[in-house]
Structures are given as structure tokens and as C-alpha cells.
Chains A and B, each alone.
Chain A
Amino acid sequence: MRTFRAVCTAVIGLAGAFSIGCGGGSSSSTKTNLIATTGQNVAPIVVNSGPANNYANGAFTSVTVCIPGTSTCQTVDGMLVDTGSSGLRIVSSVLTIALPQQKAQSGNPVAECLQFLGSYTWGPVQTADVQIGGEKAASTLIQVLSDTEFSAPAACSNGFPSANTVANLGANGILGVGPAAQDCGTYCEQVQTANFNPYYECSSSTSCQPVAETLAQQVINPVALFPADNNGVVIELPAVSGSAATLTGSLVFGIGTQSNNALGSATIFGIDPSSLSFTTSYQGTPYHGSFIDSGSNGYFILDSGIVPSLPDCPNTPTDSVAAGFYCPTSTQTFSAINQGTNGASGTVNFGIANAETLFTSTTDTVFSELGGPSILGSGSNTVLPYFDWGLPFFYGRNVYTAIENVSTPGGNGPYWAY
């Protein structure tokens, strides 16, 4: 496979000027990442406002789903590329083909409730042949997001709003290509009577009961089912200086399986297989639940108590346009160190700008300096505290996500590399 320099670099080199996709700032970037644009293991990514026109820093691609073993297929664009979850989920209102339903041992149809941060998805588990770029995953279990067939049990929402509609999700679906193979794992192999239970079997449209699902019965990262290039993904997006209207890049399947997905000089950061996290150190303090997540749309780090120069944006009845993000008076720069469970470490430099100012643009959807507060914690909590390296982290870096328990030229997953 041939690889090409980032579109931005090509434009700078040829015309000596920035295209819109390269942001409007200075050309201070010292390194440019190579972005693969051709190959059967490549799917294009676009960062834009998404199908509901309400996204900031959302990376989208297209996925084709087919009734298994047939040529009855539908291509769905506006699928959010998410390394923070695993499994394919499609909003039912955009689906025009009827996919076969997964059945429990009882013969009842299976539905799933999956928790995300601040929302949940609900709907039947169905089977599809999945095509992304030139790769195919046969008979893949996916979640169709719908309240129509079965109403969600009360325990599902848990106080969160639903992400079952295109408007609420901001996407036509989620392509979860995280380090986990299944969306739930061994936790779902028995019914959880005391805790949240993701899978249900439904004896009627209004009566669903918790059910256990083996690993093979769970919604799966479709990449793991590709015949080849199935050990992970690389997300390749060019650097952005400041903000931009849109950005294009590539989702490359496989790690070290083709000439266009070699690890090269990337550093491999081992991650904890249970919490899917590594440690980020900031000013000597470890944040041991940290993670890299293309589905988070900013840097969610620290809080204003630790960094007084990072005040929260206003959240009042008349002013909540950037609630939950940071609004510093001027752009603040930071330096933190990522540390893998394998001992690897590397410094990350980044900036956080005023989100209310960023959001005054009516055309920009790509914000390389968008950030918001995280949640503090201590050593007794293994999830908190954390740095959430959201999509801005991916701008200008090729980020590798290796799936758990599979081999790559850089060792077994799970890991992140960049």
C-alpha cells in the first residue's frame, strides 16, 4: 500500500497556504503524521457536525450492513468512530433493512442496555454482515437502538437520558473499535442480580428480564471478526492549529498486518486489561484511570480546584452554550506524561482554549483546544482520577488501539500506541 502525507502537508507544500481543513493558525507543527488513504483496510473518516448537525469533535465514517449471506445491504454514514466502546450500534430510524434477531435459549428475543457516560442505548441484538472500507465481518452481533419493539426496563436508564435517536446521539450509530473485543466481557456471562445487567430477554414488548450472554453471544467489536487486519485499528487525522470547519483522515484496520499500518516509531503503551486504562502524570501526581478515547469530544482533565486558570464555562439558564467545558480567559498550555503498564512513557503537550469563544463560530466543528473538567479521586479508587484524552489528542497523531488477547508485531493487546 502506498501512503501519502496528510492532506494539510500536501496543501502547504504545493500551494504555500492552508486549506480550510488545516485550521487557520500558524504552521508551528513540527511533526506531520502520514495518513494512509488507499487500501482495502482503509475507511475514510470525516470530523464534522455529524448527521444531527450538533457535534463538536466527532469523527464519523460509513458502515455497510447486510442481511447475513445476502446482497441485501444498506450503507449508513454518520457512524461515530469510538475507541472508548466496543461493538456496532445503529439507530433503528435510519435502518431500512430487517436484520435477524438474536434469541435467548428460551427462544425469546434478546435486547441490550448499554451505559455510556451520561446516556444509555437500548434495543434488540441483531445479526448483520458488516462491511467497513474493504473489510467484511460476517454474522456480526450488533445493537439496534430502538424503543419500538421492547420498552426499556426501568433499571436501564438509571436516571440517564436515552441516546436512541439521531438527535440525542448526534450520530446515526456508534462504531465501537475499542481495546475490548466484546462490549461487556465476562461480567455478562452470569445474570447480575445485585448490579447493572446489560443483556435482557423479552417475553413481550413490555416485559424484559435480565439474561446471561456468553462472550460469543455478546455485541462485538466488528474488527475482531475480519478475516485479516483484525488485531486493532489506527485512527489517522492530520494536525489542526486552533479550529477548523472539517477534517478528513482515515480509519485503518489491522496493526502491522499491511505496509500501511506498521507501528513504525510509535510508542506502545500497555493498558490494564480490566479497567482499560493507563497512568497519566501531571505535575508529579498520577491519574491512574486515564484513557485515550476518540468518542470523548475534548480533553477532560483536572478541575478548576487544581488549576485555577481553568474555570468552568457558565451554566446558567441564560448562558449554557459551553456548559461542562473550560472557559479560561486565555489559552492555557499543559504538559503531561503518559505511562503504560509496560513501563513506556511519553510527554504530551496540549492547550485548552475558551470553549464559549470557540463555539461562537458557526462553521467550525474541529476544535484542537477544547477541554473540560474531569473528576478527582484517590488511590482507593482505581477508575478515578483520570485524564480523558479525547478526539483533540488524535489530531496530528496516528493512534493505534490493539484489541485484548490478540497478537501484533508490538506484542499482545490490549494497548494503545502513538
Chain B
Amino acid sequence: MVEQRGNSIHLKMLVMAAALIIGAATTPAWASLGGDTASVQADQIHLQGRRTMTAAESYTVHEIQGTSGTVVREYVSSDGKVFGIAWQGPWVPDMRQLLGSYFDQYARANQAKTGARIRRGPVLINEPGLVVQIGGHPRAFAGRAYVPGMLPSGVRAESIQ
């Protein structure tokens, strides 16, 4: 027990150290889509990944190389908001972590019954405040999510990939 507690403290210190290195003031427990740059860092910690940044004209792409082939790309506007997320990997990543406060809307949309016949194809959620697309098959999935109203002007949804 004592040893476990020790590991836990050690882990917390590591997390704090990582936060300092990246220069973020706080580590939010949750959220990403719609969150700020610090929430990208929370995802990075969750995914135990390496992060690289690429600047585009009106946004920055934070690419998190997770373990076992999972890659997450987060699109952050110049005012520091995550307006889109794209990912790929053998399986669907933790959507609650990546969608944050949008997760419940996403889950509700998934449960909505449409049509009398079963459809076996991509997940295509297209609501006024949230777009989520998931495709692929077992052992190779990919998807994207974005908030249409948060796209920086001139940025097309297809850029999130």
C-alpha cells in the first residue's frame, strides 16, 4: 500500500513537471474539443504520447503520437481554442477524453434510432453544434470531430484530418 501511494505521488510530480516544461499554468482534468491549449496537454498525458506542433495560417496542429499506433491531431485556433480533433489507430480512442463536454451530445446522437433497417457503415453525426465522423473496421479506425461554429474563418472542415 505504502509503495503504491509513493508511486502515485511520484506520478503526480511527473505530471506537474510535464506541465511546467510545456509552460501551462494548470492541468485540466478533462476536456479537449472546445477546450483551451491546456486541455491538449491533458489529452497528451492521457494518451501517454509525444506531442509535436505544426503551425498553419490561422491555427496550430498539435499531433500526439500515442502508444500502439494511435495518433491524435488537435486543431487549436489562434485564440487558443480546440476547434477540431482527428485521430486514427487500431481502435477508437477514449471519446469522453477527446470530446470533453461534447461527449454527451455525441453519445445521445449515437443512440438516436433512425430508419427501420440496420445500417452498417460509417458513423456520421451532423448536428448544428457538433460534427463527428468515425470510419474503418476492427483493427483500423479513424475519425474526426469538430464544432462548426468554432472553425476559424477561411478554414474548411476537410482540413481536420
Using CB atoms and an 8 Å cutoff, list the residues of chain A in contact with chain B.
52, 54-56, 58, 84-86, 114-118, 155, 157-161, 170, 178, 180, 183-185, 187, 192-196, 198, 274-277, 289, 291, 293, 295-298, 300, 305, 315, 320-325, 359, 372-378, 380-384, 386, 388, 390
Contacts and interface: CB of A to CB of B under 8 A. Distances in A.
A158 B94 contact: yes
Contacts of A372: 119, 121-122
A378 B161 contact: yes
Contact of A183 (B69, B114, B135, B138): B138
Interface residues of B, number: 52
A198 B144 CA distance: 22
Contact of A192 (B67, B124, B142): B67
A383 B133 CA distance: 13
B89 A381 contact: no
Contact of A383 (B73, B96, B115, B140): B140
Nearest to B136: A383
Interface of B: 46-49, 66-70, 73, 86, 88-96, 99, 103, 106-107, 110-111, 114-124, 126, 133-144, 158, 161
A295 B137 CA distance: 10
A390 B48 contact: no
Given A115-B92, A158-B96, A198-B91, A374 B118 contact: no
Given A56-B117, A195-B70, A296-B121, A383 B135 contact: yes
A377 B69 CA distance: 18
B115 A321 contact: yes
A384 B110 contact: no
Contacts of A187: 68-69, 90-91, 139
B121 A55 contact: no
Contact of A170 (B106, B118, B161): B118
B123 A117 contact: yes
B161 A381 contact: yes
Contacts of B95: 158-159
Nearest to B121: A300
14 contacts: A56-B117, A56-B119, A159-B106, A159-B107, A160-B110, A194-B49, A195-B66, A195-B68, A276-B137, A298-B119, A375-B133, A381-B142, A383-B140, A388-B135
A195 B89 contact: yes
Q: 10 tightest CB-CB pairs across the interface, nearest first?
A: A383-B142, A196-B91, A194-B48, A323-B114, A159-B107, A320-B114, A170-B118, A375-B135, A275-B140, A300-B121
B89 A375 contact: no
A180 B90 CA distance: 13
A291 B126 CA distance: 24
B37 to A, nearest CB: 20
Nearest to B156: A305
Contacts of B118: 52, 54-56, 58, 170, 297
B146 to A, nearest CB: 13
A183 B91 CA distance: 12
A84 B122 CA distance: 13
Contact of B124 (A116, A183, A373): A373
Contacts of A325: 119
Nearest to A55: B118
Contacts of A296: 120-121
Contacts of A384: 88, 135-136, 142, 161
Given A117-B122, A195-B47, A323-B115, A185 B139 contact: yes
